[in-house]
Amino acid sequence: MKSNTKHTKLSKSEKQRLKEKTISFILLLIICIIWVFPFLYMFGMSLKTDVDIGTNPTSIFPSAGNWTLEHYLGFISMKGDRIDDLPIWMINSIVVTFLSVLFTLIVDTLASYAFVFFKFKGKNTIFAILLLSMTIPTAISMTPMFTMYASVGQAIEGLANNRAYVMMWLILPGVANVFNLYLMKNFFDSIPKDIVESARSDGASDFKIFYKIVLPLAKSTLMLVSLFAFVSSWNDLLWPQLILSGKDSTFQTITVALTGYASGDSWEYKGIAMATSVFALIPILIVFIITQNKMIDGLATTGVKR
C-alpha cells in the first residue's frame, strides 16, 4: 500500500518536470498546427471544384458532393489552354535540381578534401573569406551575376534563347553554396587523420584516398548535403524568375510557373494552382523520406565523431 501511495504522489521535481513537459507539448502542437495548416488547406482546396472554391473558401476540405480530381487531370491529359506545360516545368525543375545536386556534391567534396587534407599557404584565410561570403545577401550578388548572364547572352547570336545556356545559368550559381561546403568540411575534419595517413603510407594516391576511404565514410553527410542542395534548388524562385523573365514558358521551372497563378487575374485557376503546388511538393517529400534517417545521422556526425 505504502509504495502505491508513493507512486501516485509526485515529488516536487517530478511535478515541475511534468508541468514543463505539458507546456512544451502544447506549444509544439500549436506551432505544428500553424505550420501544417497551409499545406492542409492547399491540399483540401486542390480537391474542391471551381464552384466550391468560390462559395466555400473557409473550410479546409470540400463540402459534400464537391470532391473532385479534375485539377489533377490536366497533368496527364495535356489539354486545356494553360496547364499543358506542366510536365515540361516539372522536367525542367527536375533536371536543374538533379544537376545542381550532382555538381554541388562534386564541388563540395573535392573542395573539402583539399581544405582538410592538403597543406597549402593561406588555407585558413581562403576558408574564412568563403565563410564571410555567406553574409552577403543573394539579392546583392544577383545583380552582377545577371549582368554577366545578360551580356554573354547578347554577345553571341542565339545564345540568349539557347536552352543549355539558360540551364547552365540556372544551375551553376547555386552550386557554389558555402553552407554545404562548410557541412562537408566539418565532417571531413572529424575523420581521424590517422586513417588518411595510414592509407597514404599504404601507397594510396590522393584520389584513391578520396574515393576509397573518405567518400564511403561520408555517406550520411553526402545525403544531408544532397537534401539541402535539392531543397534549395527546387524551391529557388528569385534567381530563376530573373533569368527566365521574358523567356518562352517552356523554359520555366515549377516555382516560376506557380507564380503565374498568384497574380490577380488568375482567380479562375486557383484549383489548378493548388493542385500544381501539391504536385511540386511530391519530389521534396520523396527525397526527404529517403534521406531523413541518414540525415539525422549526418547531422549528428558532422559535429562529433572520432
Partner 1 sequence: MEINFNEQLNEYNEFDEKRIKNSFVSIQDLEKIYPNGVKAVYDFNLDIKHNEFIVIVGPSGCGKTTTLRMIAGLEDISSGGVFVDEELINYKPSKDRKMAMVFQSYALYPQMNVFDNIAFPLKINKFPKVKIDEILKYNNEILELFKNSEISKIIQVLQEIQNKKALKLSQNEHLMMRLKISEGASNVLLEMNIKDFNNFNNEVEAFKNKLSNEILNEKKYLENNNLKVNEQYEFIENGEKVIVYDKLTKNEIKQKVFEAAKILDLGPYLDRLPKELSGGQMQRVALGRAIVKNVPIFLMDEPLSNLDAKLRLSMRSEIVKLHNKIKATTIYVTHDQTEAMTMADRIVVMSKGFIQQIGSPEEVYNHPKNLFVAKFIGSPSINVIEAEYDNGNIFATNEINFKLNEKFISEHNEFYDNKIKIFEEKLENFNTESIEFIRKILSCVINETNVMNFPTKKHKHFKRIRNLINRNKSVEVGIEEKIEANRLLESLKDARNNAHKVYLGIRPENVKVEKFNQNKEYNNAIIVKPTVCELLGADYLIHFDYEGNDFVLKTDPKCDIKTSDLIVINFSYEDMLIFDSITGDIIYE
Name the residue nearer to partner 1 (CB basis): 126 or 167: 126
Angstrom CA distances, 207 to 109, 130, 255, stand at: 12, 24, 38
Question: Contact region for partner 1 (CB under 8 A) — 8-16, 198-206, 234-242, 288-296?
Answer: 198-206
C-alpha cell belonging to residue 175: 552550386
The residue within the footprint of partner 1, chosen from 202, 266, 296, 300 (CB under 8 A), is 202
What is d(CA 175, CA 180) in angstroms, rounded to the nearest whole number?
9
Asked if 275 is part of the footprint of partner 1 (rule: CB under 8 A), the reply reads no
The 8-class DSSP code of residue 10 comes to P
Check residue 199 for interaction with partner 1 (CB under 8 A).
yes
d(CA 217, CA 84): 45
CA distance 127 to 221: 19
Of 278, 236, 197, residue with least CA distance to 104? 236
Position 207 contacts partner 1 (CB under 8 A): no
Q: Return d(Cα 4, Cα 130) in angstroms, integer.
A: 62
For position 198 contacting partner 1 by CB under 8 A, the verdict is yes
Among 213, 225, 274, 280, which residue interacts with partner 1 (rule: CB under 8 A)?
213
Least Å distance, CB 27 to partner 1, is: 39
Q: Is 264 in the site for partner 1 (CB under 8 A)?
A: no
- Our finding on whether 159 is near partner 1 (CB under 8 A) is no
Cβ neighbours around 98 below 10 Å, total: 16
Backbone angles phi and psi of 42, in degrees to 5? -60, -45
Which stretch, 149-157, 211-219, 281-289, 294-302, contacts partner 1 (CB under 8 A)? 211-219
Phi, psi (rounded to 5 degrees) for 67 = -70, 135
Task: Please report, for residues 79, 97, 171, the alpha-carbon distance to residue 236 in angstroms, rounded to integers and kept in the order given.
Answer: 28, 10, 11
Nearer to partner 1, 194 or 265 (CB): 194
Find the shortest distance in angstroms from Cβ 219 to partner 1. Answer: 8
Q: Using CB under 8 A, count the residues that bind partner 1.
A: 16
Contact 233, 96 (CB under 8 A): yes
Among 126, 204, 281, 284, binds partner 1 (CB under 8 A): 204
Q: Of the two residues 58 and 205, which places its CB atom closer to partner 1 in the complex? A: 205
Grid cell 561520408 in the structure block, residue = 218
Q: Which of 151, 195, 199, 185 is nearest to 159 (CA)?
A: 151
CB closer to partner 1, 14 vs 202: 202
The verdict on 216 binding partner 1 (CB under 8 A) reads yes
User: Binding to partner 1 by residue 197, rule CB under 8 A?
Assistant: yes
CB nearer to partner 1: give 79 or 306.
306
Q: CA 71 from chain center: how many Å?
A: 26
In the numeric block, which cell numbers belong to residue 293?
534517417
Least separation in angstroms between residue 170's CB and partner 1 is: 35
Applying the rule CB under 8 A, the residues between 227 and 256 that interact with partner 1 are none
State the residues that interact with partner 1 by CB under 8 A.
192, 194-195, 197-204, 208, 212-213, 216-217
